[in-house]
Structure 1
Amino acid sequence: MRFTSKAIVSASLAVASIMAHAGNPVFPGWYADPEAQIFEHQYWIYPTTSERYADQTYFDAFSSPDLVHWTRHAHVLDAAHVAWAKKAMWAPALVAKDGKFYFFFGANDIQNDKDLGGIGVAVADRPQGPYRDLLGKPLIGAFHNGAQPIDQFVFKDSDGAYYIIYGGWGHANIARLKDDFSGIANLPDGSQFKEITPQNYVEGPCMFKRNGKYYLMWSEGGWTGPDYSVAYAMADSPLGPFERIGKILQQDPAIATGAGHHSVFHVEKDDTWYIVYHRRPIGDTAANHRVVSIDRMAFDARGHILPVKITNEGVTAHPLP
């Protein structure tokens, strides 16, 4: 078989792309609390812009066809389009539903039920926005079961129900969302907010379902310190109970510290899993100096998550179909 020079060059580029490593961090800039989603045959990461609370009033997003080459989309959501949000916008959660994209976010770092703020939701026609406030007020604007309304994650169950899992101050709640995301629906027992706090929970919950089991993951330790880390539990229902199994992501003092507040990519075609998280450069103790990284995540024969090795190389290219 005879190959043209053009074909050889194309094949060489394809091989180079497959073999390339992303490198950690995967894109420049101070970012944290990354939300990982696959939309329209692209990987998307929506992080917190890691600035002072007063300046943390917008979100950028990043897209990639292969986990290696990333494009920045600036200001996909801005406080200018959320009348009640004034500071400390963080920890996005994204879902696609009925041709629209919904962006859940925390704002204002409220300290009690008299403060205006909490968890909001915005909507757009495209993954890159621009997103606009959906409700004109917080979706969850008060404390329930002691949980500060921050760090939301939205999980779609296999029966089509959407749940929001959230909470700071050491408490995790789960609630079922109304189908149009305009409010909170009742759970089977008639309540709206069920506490599912596992041992050592601090913040940053994440949920997924695998082989019939529900996995709840969360961050432990202090977000400004080197002991920030991720642990997990498993249950037969999204409502728990969740018993802590162990820690799977933590610092490696030779590579980075403060590894936590994560989400995951799952590529269904080959059942590949990645953990997307933030960490701190070695020796950098500034509170908001956090960067986004990606490493592989795997399971053992029992379905338990194996400890993640954090790396500087990151992951190899994995183009989506």
Structure 2
Amino acid sequence: MRRGRGTALALLFLALSCVPWTRAAAGNPAFPGWYADPDAHVFANRYWIFPTTSARYEDQTRFDAFSSTDLVHWTRHPDVLTADAVKWARRAMWAPSVVEKDGRYYFFFGANDIQSDKEHGGIGVAVADRPEGPYRDLLGRPLIDSFHNGAQPIDQAVFRDGEDWYMVYGGWKHANLVRLKDDFTGLRPFPDGTLYKEVTPAPEYVEGSLMFERDGRWYYMWSEGGWGGPDYSVAYAMADSPMGPFKRIDKVLRQDPEVATSAGHHSVIQVPGTDRWYIVYHRRPLGDTARDHRQVSIDRMQFDEQGRILPVKITHAGVDADPLPAANGARSDSAP
């Protein structure tokens, strides 16, 4: 009897796993569950969030995705990528960065949390024909599997500048910029012949790199502080090129003792055809100090007349519904 009830519950959970999670109004967290390091985009006329499944490293071997047409009502797409599809990944799969190119979707991720060049792991890439996957390993090995300029190969963000594709990444207080081959199977040298350019923007840099362009200027954002503590936060710099040089301007996302702690490791969404921007990040509920209890939230991100990012107010209310425009007016590329 007990076994039959368990089977019924399992089948019910499976049936509900792709059912949209709806609510009467927006709110934070954006959707239920312990998730972190969200990567957000507009693909196929939907908002997409690809987060880390926040769990013990040994259990952190699968990714879900979430999609929405209005930033309020989200559909969960379970197991879009799992360690079963990446034979060299055994633990600590985290921090996705997903891009679309030529009708295919490329899912960059970190795995195994390597601590030296003697360990096997690093940054990998998987591919699928749809944003919701299923994704399969593209290379059968990591794209970057060792330390360069002191940067741990984690927390990558892939972006495009014109016809060129780049990736900024790095932990352990160092960040590198690399150029990607057009098919994402390797790295292209810079004009001076080097493969890895250190772009660490400030001594406070820890991890969680993100690069995007707005009005001809490049913004470099990153996380500071300890990800397990309340002081986790996000700062930024600006430059005329993704090559920099970048100089830290200010901290723009941080804890609020009346709302949540550990606000960091984020991405951003620009609503296609507008100058409306949202910051998608993870945070910890007040009073909860469990390492892996992190939740994805969304708040507005705004700029002043000089293009500087204004401090973000983290909220319980979240954002208002922002339906995407008609399909023929929506972008479906890697630009936020």
TM-score strictly above 0.5: yes
1:270 shift after superposition: 2.1
SS at match of 1:80: helix
Corresponding residue for residue 167 of structure 1: 170
Separation of aligned partners in 1, 2:247 and 2:183:
32
* 1:304 counterpart (305, 308, 322): 308
Whichever residue aligns with residue 254 of structure 1, its letter is E
Whichever residue aligns with residue 204 of structure 1, its letter is G
> 2:102 aligned with 1:98, yes or no?
yes
Separation of aligned partners in 1, 2:79 and 2:37:
16
- 1:273-319, Cα deviation, whole Å (9 max, x unpaired): 00000000000000000000000000001000000000000000001
Separation of aligned partners in 2, 1:269 and 1:20:
27
Query: Where does the alignment leave 5 or more consecutive residues of structure 1 unmatched?
Result: 1-18
- Is contact 1:57-1:88 (8 Å) kept? yes
Whichever residue aligns with residue 240 of structure 1, its letter is G
Whichever residue aligns with residue 179 of structure 1, its letter is D
Corresponding residue for residue 287 of structure 1: 291
- 1:189-237, Cα deviation, whole Å (9 max, x unpaired): 1101000001110000001001111100000000000100000000111
SS at match of 1:154: strand
Corresponding residue for residue 15 of structure 1: none
Identity of aligned residues (%): 70
Separation of aligned partners in 2, 1:103 and 1:268:
22
Separation of aligned partners in 2, 1:160 and 1:210:
17
Separation of aligned partners in 2, 1:237 and 1:269:
22
- Is contact 1:275-1:294 (8 Å) kept? yes
- Is contact 1:166-1:204 (8 Å) kept? yes
Query: Where does the alignment leave 5 or more consecutive residues of structure 2 unmatched?
Result: 1-22, 326-336
Q: TM-score, structure 2 length as denominator?
A: 0.89
Corresponding residue for residue 178 of structure 1: 181
1:20 shift after superposition: 5.9
1:21 shift after superposition: 3.5
- 1:10-46, Cα deviation, whole Å (9 max, x unpaired): xxxxxxxxx9642000100000000001000000000
Whichever residue aligns with residue 79 of structure 1, its letter is A
Whichever residue aligns with residue 187 of structure 1, its letter is F
- 1:86-117, Cα deviation, whole Å (9 max, x unpaired): 00000000000011000000000001111110
Spell out structure 1 runs of 4+ moving beyond 4 A.
none
Separation of aligned partners in 2, 1:37 and 1:266:
8
- 1:45-91, Cα deviation, whole Å (9 max, x unpaired): 00000000000000000000100000000000000000000000000
Q: TM-score, structure 1 length as denominator?
A: 0.93
Q: Number of matched residues?
A: 302
Separation of aligned partners in 2, 1:290 and 1:128:
22
Cα RMSD after superposing both structures = 0.9
Separation of aligned partners in 1, 2:163 and 2:30:
32
